[in-house]
Amino acid sequence: MNSVIHEKYTVAQDDFANAGKASSHIKEHLKEIGVDPQVLRRIAVACYESEINLIIHAYGGDINMDVFDDGSIQLVFKDKGPGIDDIEKAMTPGFSTASEKARSMGFGAGMGLPNIKRVSDEFDIQSSPEGTTITLLFRESK
């Protein structure tokens, strides 16, 4: 598979004011190139949740998007730490380590990672104290 479109976005820690900006750009761009609306909605959910994770839980990070020549779309969220202690726990619906500030804004439902996995066709998560990388793949139909 060759990447035909590549985009990179940087997301800063605690930047609540711009939360969702990268996801909105990605969604708009994919809409312009004619990605199926159903797939687009799944990507929007996964992208937003992952972007929020970079803001709430990580010391910021990057989003890399690739559209491959077979039409599949890959999103990679790579942060700078502090890593997830227990991935299995973090994947449990309702489990959250979000701060009071984040919770007061309606985040921290403990549905982020479960939502991301549910809407993705392929989901991979790797974490160490140096950082967490989530790799998602979307195909035209699920």
Partner 1 sequence: MKLHELFNELNWDNLTPDVSLDKDVEGVYCGDLLSWVMGNGLPNQVWITVQGHMNIIAVAGLREFSCIVIADNASIEDTVLQKATEEGIPVFASHLPVFESAKLLIEKGV
Task: Return residues touching partner 1 (CB under 8 A).
Answer: 16-17, 19-21, 23-24, 27, 41, 44-45, 47-49, 52, 105-107, 109-112, 115, 118-119
Write down the least CB distance from residue 51 to partner 1, Å.
9
DSSP state of 36: -
Write down the least CB distance from residue 27 to partner 1, Å.
6
Residue 34 or 106: which CB sits closer to partner 1?
106
Write down the least CB distance from residue 88 to partner 1, Å.
19
Tokens coding 76: 């990679």
Cis preceding-peptide flag for 82 (omega within 30 of 0): yes
Residue 34 or 128: which CB sits closer to partner 1?
34
How distant is the alpha carbon of residue 109 from its chain centre?
16
In 27-92, DSSP assigns E strands to 61-68, 73-79
Residue 1 or 26: which CB sits closer to partner 1?
26
Write down the least CB distance from residue 140 to partner 1, Å.
19
Residue 120 buriedness (CB in 10 A; 0-12 / 13-18 / 19+): buried
Residue 73 or 119: which CB sits closer to partner 1?
119
Q: Note whether 130 and 59 are within 8 A (CB).
A: no
Residue 4 or 34: which CB sits closer to partner 1?
34
Write down the least CB distance from residue 55 to partner 1, Å.
10
Give the containing element (helix H, strand E) for 136.
strand 131-138
